[in-house]
Amino acid sequence: MSRFSIGIVCLPSLGGSAVVASELAAGLADRGHDVHLIAKALPNGPPPANERLSFHRVNVPGYPLFEQPPYTVALACAIVEVARDHRLGVVHVHYAVPHATSAYLARQVLGRQAPRLITSLHGTDVLRVGSLPDYRSVTSFAVAQSDGVVVPSVFLEGEAHRLLELPECLSVEIMPNFVDTERFSPAVVRDCDALQALFEDADAPSGPLLFHVSTFRAIKRVQDVIDVLAHVRRELPARLVLVGDGPERAAAEAHASKLGLERWVRFLGKRRDFVNYLQQADVFLLPSETESFGLAALEAMSTGIPVFGYRVGGLPELVTDEVGRLVAPFDVDALAQAVLDVIRVPATQAALGRAARARALEHYRAEPALERYEGYLQRVLERAPARENQ
């Protein structure tokens, strides 16, 4: 396998696209490739120390004329500079809006010296943002100019072709997300002290623990998580921990307060160091309106936690009946009942957790995924550039 010089572009957030991009960057650097991470800020904290992994900040200068600084142009310029300075063979952009457009502009500037372009679609860049009439024509065009497109599920492949009207001849690779199975591993011993500290004012600190991680956008339906807790607490002294932040957090906190659940709910905010708390969970809840894959669900599975959610999007490709329960979309009563049916029977809960861990180990480990990415990058580099095929 030859060594690549690759630029990876991502959002500076704790969302799934940034997690996948930064983990891919670190993994490829560990495997001997020269990787250049390009973003407005470091995603997910400082990158691991590796001389083959470097970070390039996208500076977006403000000017009184602009209400919003032109990030798309600034990113295109950053890609041009990194490509020229480091002779990139590939630019791999994560999240199409506006990264595919910026990369296309950069390739126009670079001409015959332009690197190959791969666009990873992650979900809402197709299902919500990219398909909006305000963005669709340019996003569809830019994605179609890619030398390759990566999606995490069969579901998103179909939706990308349908909503972005991608040409059938465009190479679309289904590459499921992966997880660090060593970091996200089951606890050897349950850390009761950590939970006691979180719920020191609760009347029943030893009840079942429900868990949720997301970006707290409307599509994540966080209030449904609160409603599930309310249903479960009618029969069991359950508690809930939520990790993440976003526009729906205030509404979720208000909803918990309205239902009188403040003592049994903890919002931990944005943080990467939540694995210790996740390891204590009995149930992971992901009641999203849709999921292209469900990286948070995979992290829970790797930790040995059963996953519960709605049967939507690409989630059924990941969460089978052996590792959790999916119910009809947006039926909170059915979701809560599925949780109760499992946690009332410890043997069933344990069996689901073991199967979840086994499925993560068998299908979603990082090393095999990185090998697949290497093979895919090699194939893209060996093909004629997309602009020569037009």
pLDDT tens for residues 4-31? 999 999 998 768 899 999 999 999 999 9
Average of per-residue pLDDT across 96-116: 97
Cα–Cα distance, 203 to 58 (Å, whole number): 49
Of residues 200 and 389, the one with the higher pLDDT is 200
Cis-peptide, bond into residue 98, ω within 30° of zero: yes
Q: Which of 71-75, 79-83, 186-190, 198-202 comes out lowest in average pLDDT?
A: 198-202
Task: List, as one string, the DSSP characters of 242-288.
Answer: EE--STTHHHHHHHHHHTT-GGGEEE--S-S--HHHHTT-SEEEE--
pLDDT tens for residues 304-353? 999 999 999 999 999 999 999 999 999 999 999 999 999 999 999 999 99
pLDDT tens for residues 254-308? 999 999 999 999 999 998 889 999 999 999 999 999 999 999 999 999 999 999 9
Alpha helices in 71-114 (DSSP H): 71-86, 96-110
Cα–Cα distance, 310 to 198 (Å, whole number): 28
Cα–Cα distance, 92 to 380 (Å, whole number): 11
pTM of the model: 0.94
Of residues 130 and 97, the one with the higher pLDDT is 97
339: nearest Cα among 266, 239, 269, 253 = 239
Distance of CA 15 to the CA centre of its chain: 5
pLDDT at 205 over 70: no
390 pLDDT tier (thresholds 50, 70, 90): very low
Task: Evaluate whether 303 touches 167 at the Cβ level (below 8 Å).
Answer: no
Neighbours of 85 (CB within 10 A): 10
Helix pair angle (16-30, 366-382), 10° resolution: 80
Structure tokens belonging to residue 190: 């349950």
